[in-house]
Amino acid sequence: MYRALKREIVRKALDHHGIAADVEDIVEVPPGTRRRATMKAKLEGGRVHLGFHAARTHDIVDLEECPVLTPSLTALLPGLRDMLADMLAPAGDAELRLTATDAGLDLGLRWRRPNDTATLGALAKWAAKFKIARISAHGETVVSLATPSVRLGKARVDLPPETFLQPTREGEAVLQGFVIETLAKAKKVADLFCGCGTFSFPLAEKARVHAVELEKPMLEALAAAAKATPGLKPVTTEKRNLFKRPLTEFELNAYDGVCLDPPRAGAFEQAKVLARSKLKRIAYVSCDADSFARDARVLIEGGYTLTRLMPVDQFLWSSHIELAAGFVRP
C-alpha cells in the first residue's frame, strides 16, 4: 500500500500534464540512512521540545529516537536538548540544520542569540564534548574543530555551512548511477544546478563538465575539489541564476548532454530553451513530481522522448518522492 501511494503521486502528476510513461519500481533506501535533517526546537515550561513540525501545524513532534536518521544524528539528540536548555533560556526557539559528513557532524543554527563571547564559548565546549566538527550560526562558522567533507566520485569536497546534499548516501549512489548511464555517450556535459558537484564529479571521470550554480560557496567548493582531484576530465564552473538566465540555445548546442538537478520549483525556463535546442541527451533529477511533469511536458513537446522514469524514496514514510528521468532527442 505504501509503495502504491507513492507511485500514485507520480502517476497523478504525469496524468495532470498529459504524459504517458512507464514508471519503474520505486527504489527505497534503508532505514537509518538519512544524513541530513532540519529540526525545530522550542523551550517551554523548562523543557526543550526538539523534532519536526506536525503536518500543517507549527506544533513540534518531540523526538526521542528516529528510525529514519543515521545513528550518529539520533545519538546527538540528548546532547542537543541539554545544550538548548541552557542556550534558549528563559524561553526561545531555534532551527537546527544537521548533517552527518565524512569528517563528523555539521550543525547550522538559526536563532535569536547573538554571537557574543559567552555564546561562542559555550558552543565550543559543547562541540568538543559531543565531537561536532563545525557549528555555524546563520551561515557563519562560529566553531570549527574539523572541516566537514564528503566524497563525491573521486573527489573529496569540503562543505560550506548549510550545504545542500542528497538526503542519503544510498539514494545519492542510485541517482549518480542513473545519471552516468543516461549520459554515458556524452563527451561534454553541462551540469545545471550542480551544487557542490554531486553529479559533476562522477561525470567528469569520462566527460568534460561545465558546472553551473547560483550559490557561490558551493561553486567554490566544487572548483577547489576539482583542482585537487587527479584523474578527472576538465571541470569548469559558472555562477549563474538559471531561473532568470537559463543557458541559451547557442550555449546548449555546444554540449551533447545536460544534467538537471533543480530545487522543488523545477527548471521551467531552462526546459523551454532545451526544447528549442539541438541537444541530444538529458538526465533530469527532480525532488518534486509536479514540477518535473510540467517540465517534462515542455521537453516532450520540443521533440524529446522520455526513455526512463525511476522514483527514488529517500524520505521514508512521508509523501515525498524523488525522480530520475532520461530524455533523448532523435
**Catalytic positions, written as ranges:** 287
Place of cell 532520461: 326
Ordered alpha helix ranges (H), 64-214? 71-87, 117-130, 169-182, 200-203
Give the SS3 label for residue 290: helix
Pairing of strands 322-328, 257-260: unpaired
Is 261 annotated in some ligand binding site? yes
Q: What are the grid coordinates assigned to 305, written together?
A: 522522448
176 is in an annotated binding site: no
52 labeled binding residue? no
**DSSP state string for 187-219:** SEEEEET-TTTTTHHHHTTTSEEEEEES-HHHH
d(CA 229, CA 103): 18
Phi and psi based region of residue 121 (left: phi greater than 0; alpha: psi -120 to 50; beta: remaining): alpha
* 135 burial via Cβ count (<10 Å: 0-12, 13-18, 19+): buried
Does 213 show up as a binding residue in the annotation? yes
d(CA 45, CA 39) in angstroms, rounded, equals 20
Annotated binding site for S-adenosyl-L-methionine: 166, 193, 213, 261
Annotated binding site: 166, 193, 213, 261
